[in-house]
């Protein structure tokens, strides 16, 4: 945790917060914080700055906060991701928040196991928890938007073209395609497939909607690795 994220409910005055639970535990065990220490903090959805520890007990702490710095800019990226297996989903949510992905769309695909959609990690509070971990890691305060689209064809036919009206669309797919571009600055939508890959029908539909297939070389990367490798290369 490189940033202590503060939520509206933590504020007991305009410049003072009271914390308990996970964040207090982290302060005590990892930072080994003491009264008078200065910590880096940010208000969820708002500014970042510093906080001075005013009081500290095993149950709660009070901090005086001064927030005056904007969070880092998001990447101009919408990630369209075939629903990954649950354990990977947790980590990908954290990576997306850390890397600055603005929007994540979790999409069904033929090779997504149906059971993946039953995972508790898709519950809104679990999605939020994992995004918060990623923001705390990277020092950001703004949650990425997350959408769940369980019907491939209606999404791709009815919604994807509109999403692409102001963005370039790329489809990550191993094969004889152009190399994935580097150092992109314009808004982008990037589609990444499931563990078993996109099926040819899906590749056709995504390309008809306006995505261009690109590849990252002959090594086939796991979804989680592909997410970070592609984002790192693109931006």
Residues binding ligand SAM (CB under 6 A): 172-174, 192-193, 195-198, 215-217, 219-223, 226
In which order are the strands placed within the sheet that holds 168-172? 145-149, 103-107, 77-82, 188-192, 168-172, 212-214
CB of 193 to ligand SAM, least distance (A): 2
**Cβ 92 vs Cβ 77: under 8 Å:** no
CB of 223 to ligand SAM, least distance (A): 5
Q: Which is nearer to ligand SAM, 102 or 221 (CB)?
A: 221
CB of 179 to ligand SAM, least distance (A): 9
CB of 191 to ligand SAM, least distance (A): 7
CB of 206 to ligand SAM, least distance (A): 10
| DSSP assignment of 194-215 | -TT---HHHHHHHHHTT-EEEB
**Cβ 36 vs Cβ 50: under 8 Å:** no
Q: Which is nearer to ligand SAM, 108 or 141 (CB)?
A: 108
For residue 39 the two structure tokens come to 């910590």
Q: Which is nearer to ligand SAM, 148 or 221 (CB)?
A: 221
Which of 67, 70, 113 shows the shortest CA–CA distance to 89?
Answer: 113
Q: Which is nearer to ligand SAM, 22 or 222 (CB)?
A: 222
| DSSP assignment of 110-177 | TTS-GGGGG-GGGSHHHHHHHHHHHHHHHT---PPEEEEE--HHHIIIIIHHHHGGGSEEEEE--SSS
Q: Which is nearer to ligand SAM, 11 or 235 (CB)?
A: 235
CB of 230 to ligand SAM, least distance (A): 7
Which of 207, 199, 215, 181 shows the shortest CA–CA distance to 77?
Answer: 181
Q: Which is nearer to ligand SAM, 100 or 193 (CB)?
A: 193
């Amino acid at each position: 945790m490189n940033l202590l994220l503060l939520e509206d409910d933590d504020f007991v005055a305009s410049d003072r917060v009271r914390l308990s639970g996970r964040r207090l535990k982290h302060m005590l065990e990892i930072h080994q914080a003491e009264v008078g220490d200065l910590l880096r903090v940010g208000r969820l959805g708002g500014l970042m700055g510093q906080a001075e520890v005013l009081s500290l007990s095993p149950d709660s702490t009070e901090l005086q906060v001064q927030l005056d710095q904007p969070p880092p800019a998001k990447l101009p990226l919408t990630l369209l991701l075939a629903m990954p297996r649950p354990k990977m989903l947790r980590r990908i949510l954290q990576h997306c928040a850390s890397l600055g992905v603005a929007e994540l769309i979790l999409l069904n695909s033929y090779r997504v196991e149906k059971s993946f959609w039953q995972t508790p990690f898709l519950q809104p509070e679990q999605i939020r928890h994992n995004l918060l971990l990623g923001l705390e890691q990277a020092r950001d305060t703004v949650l990425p938007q997350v959408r769940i689209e369980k019907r491939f064809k209606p999404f791709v036919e009815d919604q994807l073209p509109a999403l692409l009206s102001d963005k370039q669309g790329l489809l990550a797919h191993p094969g004889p395609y152009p190399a994935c571009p580097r150092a992109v600055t314009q808004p982008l939508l990037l589609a990444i497939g499931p563990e078993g890959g996109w099926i040819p029908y899906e590749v056709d539909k995504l390309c008809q909607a306006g995505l261009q297939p690109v590849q990252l070389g002959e090594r086939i990367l796991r979804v989680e690795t592909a997410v970070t490798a592609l984002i790192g290369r693109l931006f």
